Structure 1
Amino acid sequence: MSPLFPALAARSQRPALRFGDRALTHAELADAAGSLARRLAGERRVAIWATPTLGTAVGVVAALLAGVPVVPVNPRSGERELAHIARDSAPTLVLAEPGVTLPPALAALPRLDTDAGTGAGEEAPEVFTEPSPEAPALIVYTSGTTGPPKGAVLPRRALTSTLDALADAWQWTADDVLVHALPLFHVHGLILGILGPLRRGGSVTHLGRFDTAGVARELSSGATMLFGVPTMYHRIAEALADDPALAEALAGARLLVSGSAALPVHDHRRIAAATGRRVVERYGMTETLMNTSVRADGEPRAGTVGVPLHGVELRLVDESGAAVEKYDGESVGEIQVRGPNLFTEYLNRPDATEAAFTDGWFRTGDMAIRDPDGYVRIVGRKATDLIKSGGYKIGAGEIENVLLEHAGVREAAVTGEPDPDLGERIVAWIVPAHPEAPPTEQELADHVAGQLAAHKRPRTVRYLDALPRNDMGKIMKRALHG
């Protein structure tokens, strides 16, 4: 069975990981992670205090080499959430950087420091047996918006199938150097951003904290790819007009990838106008890893998440469960997927696991339309972004994109709220670009009606200083209320 990380097994001398002034080649990582993996052998499950550090990357690789499922823990989690994750996942020990003080929920567990030294010379390099493709690799906890977070059990075949499908879609090779500043406790930052380059035999530079100067420096120094979330790309778009070095650095990148939430169309356009490079979007979830992406050799169409990845089946279904067959850019349905990229189960939650599937298809809860050529456009979440107004089914996402094209709008979110006549009325939550002179409700309604159908215009506008967002920059719509 082929190894998860071929370049480690081959002891490649090429660069693998760099965090600040700390760096390891693939051979050095094989030594450091191998040394730690020997100490993890036989553990049932381990947690890792997932700071954006070299030690976190070494600890995760070590657990994967040892065939021990690893639970990445968000260091910004609150006490109640930490206690739930520790109780639910029941790790037999916790990995952490030396010197880090752990919170009470984890401090009671046996601890092993993640030594990011090479480990060379301690023992002869060990050849680890690759576990079954169905063996659990990671247990990643969801955001828990409707209850306590659920642990999605991701098998090794989900990791390999997603990373190999992205290699195909993005023409990702060992020659690529990735730069990012994403947290390492979730799919985007850890699996795509760290394990992806390691599987390809390439390298990754982690900035620690995002800033446009760091992005410009790394892309000007040989990095070929940038991964980010919309908040990061928005800051890049804002900075480009006054930062020619940043524009030049982005222009030289091979691939700019945004994910975790939709990148507003106006930011797409500003980046493309300043750099000549278009940002590629992809679509995935904790439970499914990656489902779709705009391909490197395809049309980087703003507002879409591209086409299904190799091996992924995707369908849209209506409220009755019937397939939405039309590729007309209008017909809305819930995205359902199946393929080797899917999780195995929610840990200790057979009821939730069963409810998540229908006839083998995973119910994402995301609503989308498909263009005639198969490009998928996500219009929102079924629970919060599908608005039923005046007999129409309306996706909040397309209205948000149009609002963001208005010069007077800095941020926008759209929700529905009960209306005795319409069923639901469309509400726009606006952060004005100029708070002293915000666009009027009528001006925004006319702007939307001029770009979309009249029934999609907001009936109510509420003004905010900022939209509520989580750690990944996603807008928390459940926190918006009248």
Structure 2
Amino acid sequence: MVLFPTTTESAGTPGGRPALTIDGETISRSELFGAAAAVAEQVAGSGPVAVNATPSIRTAIAFLGCLQAGVPAVPVPPDAGPRERSHILSDSGATLWIGNRPDDLPDELATLTVDSAATGTPPAEPDPDSAALIMYTSGTTGAPKGALVSRRALQAQVDGLAAAWDWTPEDVLVHGLPLFHVHGLVLGMLAPLRIGASLVHTGRPRPASYAAAAEAGGTMFFGVPTVWSRIAAEPDSCRALSSARLLVSGSAGLPPTVFRDVQALAGQGPVERYGMTETLITIAARLDHDRVPGWVGEPIAGVEARILDEQGYPVISDGDTIGDLQIRGATLFDGYLNRAEATEESFSDDGWFRTGDVAAKNDQGQHRIVGRAKQDLIKSGGYRIGAGEIEAVLLDYPGIEEVAVVGVPDADLGQRIVAYVVGELSDETAVIDWVAGQLSVHKRPREIRRVDELPRNAMGKIQKSLLS
């Protein structure tokens, strides 16, 4: 198994385009792989290598060099604080640091400088089952855990999505996503390198930058919901994307209103997909299927999904009945580094990974993600209710710009449905009645709380644990 072809035939990209363009800086495929081989020669035989994942050509060279050498790369967020950075370095056992060196790094951790003009000889292809990446989870409970992602999983991930989206070397991918998460690093950089396509990374995901890239020939565009919302708010930029072959949204649910706004301006709404650090992207809306807001598609090749009720039985495939989503297949991680007990707890007795997400499936095998079981599954009055379904309805109400639905303790109901809303509202009772008229009555919010903004993390995901 060759993860990244480096033969003469694949030394360039179609039309002589650069392999990578990051914030205006370019590099050809032959230059990129030559510089990466020089890094591989220097890191070969070392332990894990921490990479300061700034959006830059040197960062791309660093990741590719580690992968060529068969050395696990550890993405480190550039904005990580001293405590987070220290945990990642100590927990991963990083032996080298690549990138700008913060003042708080331990003296014994050596720094390697990347030379984009250097060249080397690519080593033999590493074991496909060896760890390629150690990616740290968001750490919603306790310190972040390092997920071991193998080379084989990366291959399955890229090839599965390439088939679902007809991704070819002729494509030019455009995005401005961070290079330390699955979305930006694996889908956004490693995938085009394996496929032989080009990447244009805009530095920051500004609407004008996406529009300019579209006019320059971009064919695929990635973004999180916040990015798509901002693009939709700038009609000229959004219309420029009408030349694109595919728009993709991920990392959080895309509000139906944003889907419809982008569709009206760009001629197509973004397809959605589902995944997490431990599974990579496992479910995706296919290019040749109808796009329905809120639905993330079907498992990619090599992946299976099931949805179980509280008794452990499969739920009805009616598109409405929700349950716990579990995954197994080729893209799964190999466990948490140094956390055997946590790894064991994350899998069912028959080998399925417990995602911790709540989902529904229709009779065509398409999936709808309701949210996280711990924060988006609300048990009220004996009913199991998905927060995401209520949020989608609320976002259609005039004046509501953003919303987060949570369950709060209630002596009578067990949990009471509360909606935190950003926007202008004159009659909160009317909003509650609106939801009751759109969904089952028991799914209506019992309370509307207006806020100026919702708390979000670096990827734009709403942090419901901070709502009280």
User: Per the shorter chain, which TM-score range?
Assistant: over 0.9
Inter-CA distance 371–104: structure 2 relative to 1 (3 Å threshold): same
1:174 maps to what in 2? 169
CA deviations 1:342-373 (Å, max 9, x no partner) are 00010010010000001210000000011121
1:354 maps to what in 2? 344
SS of 2:275's equivalent in the other structure is strand
1:453 aligns to 2:456 (yes or no): no
Aligned counterparts of 2:223 and 2:132: Cα–Cα separation in 1: 24
Aligned counterparts of 1:74 and 1:103: Cα–Cα separation in 2: 15
2:209 maps to what in 1? 214
CA contact (8 A) 1:176 1:223 kept: yes
Aligned counterparts of 2:7 and 2:149: Cα–Cα separation in 1: 22
Aligned counterparts of 1:372 and 1:173: Cα–Cα separation in 2: 31
1:45 aligns to 2:32 (yes or no): no
Shift of 1:439: 3.9
1:440 maps to what in 2? 427
* Counterpart mapping for 1:306-455 below 5 A: 306-324=297-315, 326-358=316-348, 359-432=350-423, 434=424, 438-455=425-442
CA contact (8 A) 1:312 1:340 kept: yes
Inter-CA distance 74–127: structure 2 relative to 1 (3 Å threshold): closer
Q: In the alignment, which of 224, 227, 230 is matched to residue 235 of structure 1?
A: 230
Inter-CA distance 106–301: structure 2 relative to 1 (3 Å threshold): farther
1:135 maps to what in 2? 130
Aligned counterparts of 1:107 and 1:263: Cα–Cα separation in 2: 44
CA deviations 1:47-70 (Å, max 9, x no partner) are 001111111111000000011001
Shift of 1:132: 1.7
Shift of 1:198: 0.4
Inter-CA distance 337–9: structure 2 relative to 1 (3 Å threshold): farther
What is the TM-score normalised by the length of structure 2? 0.97
Aligned counterparts of 2:88 and 2:169: Cα–Cα separation in 1: 36
CA deviations 1:415-474 (Å, max 9, x no partner) are 001112211110000011x3xxx2432121011112111111100111111000000000
CA deviations 1:183-242 (Å, max 9, x no partner) are 0011100010000100010110111112111000001111100011001001111112xx
Higher mean Cα deviation, 168-177 or 248-257?
Answer: 248-257
Alignment root-mean-square deviation, CA? 1.3
1:224 aligns to 2:223 (yes or no): no
SS of 2:393's equivalent in the other structure is helix
* Counterpart mapping for 1:153-168 below 5 A: 153-168=148-163
Inter-CA distance 452–106: structure 2 relative to 1 (3 Å threshold): farther
Shift of 1:8: 6.0
1:32 maps to what in 2? 35
Number of equivalences: 463
Gaps of 5+ in 1: none
CA contact (8 A) 2:380 2:417 kept: yes
CA contact (8 A) 2:101 2:111 kept: no
Aligned counterparts of 2:241 and 2:40: Cα–Cα separation in 1: 38
> How many percent identity over aligned positions?
51
Inter-CA distance 203–297: structure 2 relative to 1 (3 Å threshold): same
Shift of 1:105: 3.4
Aligned counterparts of 2:69 and 2:373: Cα–Cα separation in 1: 39
SS of 1:380's equivalent in the other structure is strand
CA contact (8 A) 1:8 1:29 kept: no
Aligned counterparts of 2:218 and 2:260: Cα–Cα separation in 1: 23
Aligned counterparts of 1:217 and 1:21: Cα–Cα separation in 2: 12
Aligned counterparts of 2:103 and 2:463: Cα–Cα separation in 1: 26
Aligned counterparts of 1:441 and 1:9: Cα–Cα separation in 2: 65
Shift of 1:20: 2.8
Inter-CA distance 74–247: structure 2 relative to 1 (3 Å threshold): closer
SS of 1:415's equivalent in the other structure is strand
Aligned counterparts of 1:158 and 1:317: Cα–Cα separation in 2: 25
Residue identity opposite 1:320 in structure 2: Q
Shift of 1:13: 2.4
Aligned counterparts of 1:254 and 1:318: Cα–Cα separation in 2: 38
Gaps of 5+ in 2: none
Residue identity opposite 1:185 in structure 2: F
Inter-CA distance 43–265: structure 2 relative to 1 (3 Å threshold): same
1:274 maps to what in 2? 265
1:3 maps to what in 2? 2
CA deviations 1:154-209 (Å, max 9, x no partner) are 00111000100000000000000001000001110001000010001011011111
CA contact (8 A) 2:171 2:197 kept: yes
1:116 aligns to 2:119 (yes or no): no
Shift of 1:114: 1.9
